[in-house]
Structure 1
Amino acid sequence: MKPVLFLVHGMGNHTEASFKTEVVTSLNAALSYYPNPDTTNIESAFDVIVFSYNDIFEDYLEKLKSEFGDIVTAASSMPELTNINELIDFKDDLKSVSEKVLFTTHWLDVVLYRFTMLGEAIRARFTSQLCQLIRSRGSSNVHIIAHSLGTAVTLDALSILYDKNLLIDPSDGKLNPITNRLGSVTYLANVAKVLEGVVPVDQTVVNPSDSGCSSRVFNINHKLDPFTMVHPYKPTGPLWTQLTNIDDELEHLATKFPHDVGNYLKNPIVNQPLFQAYFENFKYLNGLDIAQRQFKVNNKLVAASEEIIQLIEALKQPGGNDWQRFYSAFKTVYQLIKE
C-alpha cells in the first residue's frame, strides 16, 4: 500500500482535480531536476488525495446571491463581517467584473473562513477525512502539503484533532500525537498568524518536538510572496525546517505570481528536504547543486515586478492592522493572479 500525499489548497477557485494537477505537475518537474530520482512520477510512489473545501464557499455564496442579489452587497451587509468591513472599505476597489470575481474567489475565501461558521464546517470536514485516512493507511504514511489559506485550515484542524488541552469539540475523539504521528506536515506560504482565531498558533501541537504531531514540520515562505510578509509565522527551535527566504536572487520565480504553489514546489531549496523525507534518501541532498542548475534551466525565470518589490518593502515595516496589510497585498497582486 502506497503512502499518501494529502493536499490542502488555498484561496481561489480550486477543484480537487485542478489542485492535484498543479501539485503533481510541479513535483514531477522537480523530481526530474535530480540525478537518479526514486521516480519521475510522484503518483507512482504516492496516492495523492486532495482535501477540497471550495464547494462550501460556493454553496454559501449562492445562498447570498439569492438573498442579496450580488456578492458585493452581501459582503457589505453580513453581520459577521461588520468588523472587517469597518477596517476595509473594499467597495470602491471593485470597478470591473474581473476585480469582483477575484474578490469573490480569493478575498472572500479568507474572511469567510476566519469570521463565519464556514470555518467550523471546513475544519469538521478536514478532521473527518483525515481520521478516516489514518485509520486505513496509518498516520506515519500520511504526508500533508498545505498552501496559502490551507495552512491556516491545516494548523487549526490538526490542533483540534491532536491537542487534548484544546477544549473544542470535546465529544470528538482526539488523536494521540505520539502514537498517531504524521509522516510530515508542510506549510507553503503560511498565513496562519494573520488568520489566528480558534487556535493559538504559537502553542500549536503541529510542531516537530517530542510532543508534536509530526517529527517533520516544514514551514516555508518565499521572500517575494507578499501574503507571507503581512504577519510572518516564524516558529523558533532547532527542530524546525524553516525556509523563509527560499531564493537569494529576485529572478528566481517560476511564474509572475509569487504566491503560486509551483513557485514553491519547483524550487530545489523547498523540494530537496521534502523528497528526502518522502523517500528517506539523502541522495536528494547530494544532488541539490545539480537540481538548482536544472531548475534555472527548465523554468523561464522572471523578475518580480516593481509593484511587488515596493509592496514587500512596505510590508517589512512594522505596525498597522494585519487585515489592512493583507488587503493591500491582495489589491497589489490581483493582476498577477489573473496571469
Structure 2
Amino acid sequence: MGKSILVVTHGMGEHTAEATKKKVIKAANIALSRYPSSKDTKFEDHVEIVSIGYDDIFEAERKRIKAANEPISAYFKTHSNLPASFIQQIVSLESRIDKDTFFTTHILDVLLYAGLHGPRVRLRLAEKFAEAMSTRTSDQAVHVMAHSLGTAAMHDMLAKLYDKGIEDENGKRHAYTPGELRIDSLWMISNVSQLLYSVNRNVLGTSLNPLLSKVKPATDDSGCAEYFFNVFHEFDPFTLFGRFDPKFDEEWVSARVFQRNYVRIETERFTYSANPHDLVGYLTNPNVAIEFLDRVMPTGTFNVSDAEVDEAHRDVQDVHSGVKAIKDYVSAIDSFDDLKGLVSMIKAYGEFIEGLLGQDPDDD
C-alpha cells in the first residue's frame, strides 16, 4: 500500500506551508515515540503531507496597508462593495488596533479573509488540493486537516469544491463529487467555521453555513468525507462561543452516520503546551493522537496493542506552568455574537498569552 495523503493548512498569524508541515510531523512523531512498537517509526515515511499556505496573500496586503501609512479603515473603505456596517465596526476598533503588530499579523487575517480575500484563499487551497489529487494513485487514502482560521477556509473551499466548483483565472473549474473522490477523514482542529459564519452572516455574509454544506461525513453523495473528526479544547477561547458542535437529533447527518462516522473529541488536558489553541498541543494530546495515527497512517504501519496504549497514556504528564491562569482567564471571557466582539477577544487573548507565555496564540 502506498503512502496516505494528508492535506493540511494553518490558522491565523504568520505561517508558511513548510512550517505547518514541520509542526504536524513533530506532533505525530512525539505521539509515535510513546509506544514501544512504534518508537522507531517516522510519520513522514508513511504519510505524504501536502501543506498549503495562504499567509503570503495576507502578507502582501499587510505591506500595502503599511506603505499607505493610513488608518486600517481607509484600506477597507477603498472597496465600495463592503457594507457600511462592516467599515463602522473597524472604525470603532481602530483606536485599539491601528499599528498593533498582533493585529496586523493575526486579527487582520480574519478581516481580510471575511471581507476581501476569501475567494483568493479558497482558490489557493483548491488549486493545491487539485494538484495533489492529480498525482494520487488509486491505493492512496486522502485525509484533510485544518487548524483555527484554516478550518473556516478549508470548509468554505470544500463546500464549493463539492458543489458547483471553484473557477480559476483561466476559466478552469476545480470540482469533485463524493463519488469521484471521497475524503477518508477530515480533521477540524479548533474548528471556527461555525463561529466565523455566525459573526459575519449579518454583516458580510461571505462564509458558508457548515451545517448545510457537503462538508460532513456520509456514505452517499450528501457528504464529501467518510469520517469527520471535530477536535476542540475546553479552554480554547476560539471554541467557546459559536462552536461547531452538531447534535445527534439535529439532522445534520443521519443517526447511523452520526454514531459511526462523526467523532467528537473534547479535551481539557494540557499535555504539551499551556496554550490550549496550540496545534502541536492538540495533535500530541493522547486522545487525539491515537485516533489521528490510527486513521491517517496506512493500514499495517501503526499497530499498537491496547496494553501499550494504556500504559503509554498513563505516563503522559500534563504541563502545569501557566495553566491555572489560562483556565481562569478563559473561563471569564464574556460572550460575543458579532465580528467586533470576535476581534476584541482575539486581541485580548493574544496579549494575555504573549504576556504569560512569551508566545502568540499560534506558536508551537
Normalization by structure 2: what TM-score? 0.79
> Which residue of 2 is the match for residue 102 of structure 1?
102
Match of 2:230 in 1: 219
1:289 to 302, 310, 313: 310
Report the counterpart of residue 262 of structure 2 in structure 1.
Answer: 240
**Distance change (3 Å), C-alpha of 1:64 and 1:270:** same
Counterpart for residue 87 of structure 1? 89
Question: Helix, strand or coil: the match of 1:194?
Answer: helix
* Maintained 8 Å contact 1:194/1:322: no
RMSD: 2.8
* Cα contact 1:142–1:182 (8 A) shared by 2: yes
Distance 2:296 2:278 in 1: 22
The structural deviation recorded for 1:76 is 6.9
Give secondary structure in 2 for the equivalent of 1:47: strand
1:16 has 2:12 as partner: no
1:274 matches 2:285: no
Gaps of 5+ in 2: 198-205, 248-257, 360-364
Query: Is contact 2:25–2:43 with CA below 8 Å preserved after alignment?
Result: yes
Within 5 Å, give how 1:1-339 maps onto structure 2.
1-37=2-38, 40-66=41-67, 68-69=68-69, 72=72, 74=74, 77=77, 79=79, 80=82, 82-87=84-89, 89-94=92-97, 100-116=100-116, 118-138=117-137, 141-164=141-164, 169=167, 172-196=173-197, 197-210=206-219, 211=221, 212-236=223-247, 237-238=258-259, 239-243=261-265, 245-247=266-268, 252-279=270-297, 280=299, 283-284=303-304, 286=306, 287-296=308-317, 300-306=319-325, 308-315=327-334, 320-335=336-351, 336-337=353-354, 338-339=358-359
Separation in structure 2 between the aligned mates of residue 103 and residue 220 of structure 1, nearest angstrom: 26
Counterpart AA for 2:132: L
**Cα 1:42–1:142, aligned 2, differ >3 Å: closer, same or farther?**
same
Counterpart amino acid of residue 123 in structure 1 = R
The two structures have a TM-score, normalised by structure 1, of 0.85
Moved more, 121-130 or 279-288: 279-288
In the TM superposition, what is the alpha-carbon distance from 1:44 to its structure 2 partner? 1.0
Q: What is the letter of the counterpart of residue 231 of structure 1?
A: G
Contact map agreement 1:308 1:332 (CA 8 A) in 2:
no
Contact 1:257 1:333 in 2 (8 A): no
**In the superposition, relative to structure 1, how do residues 208 and 72 fare at CA in structure 2: closer, same or farther (>3 Å)?**
same
Contact 1:61–1:71 (CA<8 Å) still a contact in 2?
no
Hey, what's the Cα distance between the residues in 1 that align with 2:304 and 2:231?
A: 18
Q: Deviations over 1:4-23 (max 9, x none)?
A: 22110000100122222222
Distance in 2 separating the partners of 1:291 and 1:272: 11
CA distance in 1, matches of 2:340, 2:282: 25
Between Structure 1 and Structure 2, how many residues are aligned? Answer: 323
Q: Over residues 192-238 of structure 1, what are the superposed CA-to-partner deviations in whole Å (9 max), with x where a residue is unaligned?
A: 01222342210121111123211111110111100111210012332
Is the Cα contact below 8 Å between 2:8 and 2:49 reproduced in 1? yes
Extract unaligned runs of 5+ from structure 1: none
Q: 1:21 to 1:173 in 2, by over 3 A?
A: closer
